[in-house]
Structure 1
Amino acid sequence: MPGIKQKTCDITTPRKVLVPYIAEEAITATEAQALLRRCRRSLDYYIKDHGIGRRIHGRVAVSRVAVQMLLEDDREALALYVSGDRSSDQVAAYYHRLSIPLPAIASTAG
């Protein structure tokens, strides 16, 4: 994972990780650790500094999509994902490749 030490997102900006929540996208901390081949402490760092997961009902849930972006060092796609983008080709391609259904996008027209 080249370049992984550089933060992907600004911690002051609200993150939209697993929003909306899709069960097929969420993986456990243990599963994320195995995919990343990292210890729990490193995973906590990735969650904090790269925005790949969040607490849901007291448990850590990690985005499988975000983990794949991190593994491929695709910082641009990860930044789009963390900001809430689920419709751009760059982000949607990860959902498709991982066979995870794209979340329904709420209409912002008004």
Structure 2
Amino acid sequence: MTGALDRYFVLTPYDPDEVMTLQQAAARARKSPGTIRNWCESEGLGRRIGGEWCVSKVALEMYLDGEKRALGRYLSGDRESNDVVSYFRRFDLRAQRPLNAR
């Protein structure tokens, strides 16, 4: 699955304020850290940085809300659509478009 995740723009550009640990994400989702790690791998909700899993608050919230279209846009690098921007605003984050996004 690593190859598939390489094309995702999760946590890109990197903003430490957007990051949650596996444990924080697990508490938010009321799931185990292992489940969150699996979601990071299968759904693109996070990525490994410095050997540790970092979970996107934005992506996790979209996933928990069932907002698959918004999540798909986020993962493709869209930081301008209203549904994507609304999640960044929810966490008082600035939505910055990745340089290499389509």
TM bucket normalised to smaller: 0.7 to 0.9
Match of 2:92 in 1: 99
CA distance in structure 2 between the partners assigned to 1:59 and 1:13 by the alignment: 16
CA distance in structure 2 between the partners assigned to 1:41 and 1:64 by the alignment: 17
**Contact 2:9/2:98 (<8 A) preserved:** no
TM-score (norm 2): 0.86
CA distance in structure 2 between the partners assigned to 1:106 and 1:86 by the alignment: 11
Gaps of 5+ in 2: none
User: Percent same amino acid among aligned pairs?
Assistant: 33
**Contact 2:10/2:75 (<8 A) preserved:** yes
RMSD: 2.2
Displacement of 1:65: 0.3
Q: Work out which of the two has the higher radius of gyration on C-alpha atoms and give 1 or 2.
A: 1
Matched residue pairs, number?
A: 99
TM-score (norm 1): 0.80
Gaps of 5+ in 1: 1-10
Verify: 1:90 aligned to 2:83, yes or no: yes
**Contact 1:24/1:101 (<8 A) preserved:** no
Q: Which has the higher helix share?
A: 2
Which residue of 16, 20, 28 maps to 2:13?
Answer: 20
Q: 1:59 to 1:90 in 2, by over 3 A?
A: same
User: 1:45-75 deviations in whole A, cap 9, x for unaligned?
Assistant: 2111110000001111110000110111100
